[in-house]
Amino acid sequence: MSNTLATAVDFSKTSLYISLASIAFNPTAWNIVARNEYHNKTLTRLFGSPRTGCYFLALSIFGFGILRDSLYHQALMDQPQSPILPEPFNTIVPAILFLAGQTLVITSTWALGITGTFLGDYFGILMDHRVEGFPFNVLRDPMYVGSTMCFAATALWYERPAGLLVTAYVYVVYLLALKYEGPWTDMIYASRSSAETKANGSSTASKKEL
């Protein structure tokens, strides 16, 4: 097993570790930035409004995402090539997987909007209602799932077994990120709901006094 792994993955390539670092960096950095924004409003003060600050963060996330994908591609090109799927599945499967993954990513962004996708809730830009349409009626975290599918599709397309190992790493990184993001987002919306309930209660009490 170890010999098979050693021939499928060239662990001596620096590009592999740079790719792994960039994959871990993105969700980690954005969670840190977002939580700082929630507590200290750093970007809001810097850009003069929460929406402009959120757009800046969105551009940053998008830009670093492109860089991450570029580093992943370079890492794959530096790895040994070996057939993974027989013809014609070696092109059909990755193409379908990539299209499905991109569909999940794009439709998630469309459903949430820019601020909903790029951590607007940490800026105080909250959605009125929970998004329950496609793809959120199919998956809880369609954007992360779609992104993982694209990593796998790329590995299969270029026939780099190392890419499948990286894909598994991506999946673990996303799971860890969700353990922080999910409860934190729930807390933000629960706080708003609690504040609205108190406000409505105060309003009702005032009317009764009148």
Q: Let me know if residue 139 belongs to a domain.
A: yes
Q: Let me know if residue 205 belongs to a domain.
A: no
pLDDT at 2 over 50: no
Report the predicted TM-score, pTM, of the whole model to 2 decimal places. Answer: 0.86
Burial 133-162 (b: 16+ CB within 10 A, else e): eebbeeeebbbbbbbbbbbbbbbbbbbbbb
Q: For residue 168, what are its two tokens?
A: 């598994």
Q: What is the pLDDT of residues 163-202, one digit of tens each?
A: 999 999 999 999 998 887 767 676 766 766 665 566 555 5
* Structural domains counted in the chain: 1
Q: Let me know if residue 204 belongs to a domain.
A: no
Look at the alpha carbons of 107, 108, 112, 118 in this order and tell me if their dihedral is positive or negative: negative
Please check whether residue 97 is in contact with residue 156, taking contact to mean a CB–CB distance below 8 angstroms.
Answer: yes
Give the pLDDT mean for 39-60. 95
Q: Let me know if residue 172 belongs to a domain.
A: yes
Read off the pLDDT band of 4 (50, 70, 90).
Answer: low
Higher pLDDT, 28 or 194: 28
Q: Let me know if residue 42 belongs to a domain.
A: yes
Q: Let me know if residue 3 belongs to a domain.
A: no
By percentage, how much of the chain surpasses pLDDT 90?
67
pLDDT score at 95:
97
Read off the pLDDT band of 1 (50, 70, 90).
Answer: very low
Q: What is the pLDDT of residues 78-132, one digit of tens each?
A: 999 999 999 999 999 999 999 999 999 999 999 999 998 998 888 988 877 777 8
> Range of 65's domain?
11-198
Q: Let me know if residue 4 belongs to a domain.
A: no
Read off the pLDDT band of 136 (50, 70, 90).
Answer: confident
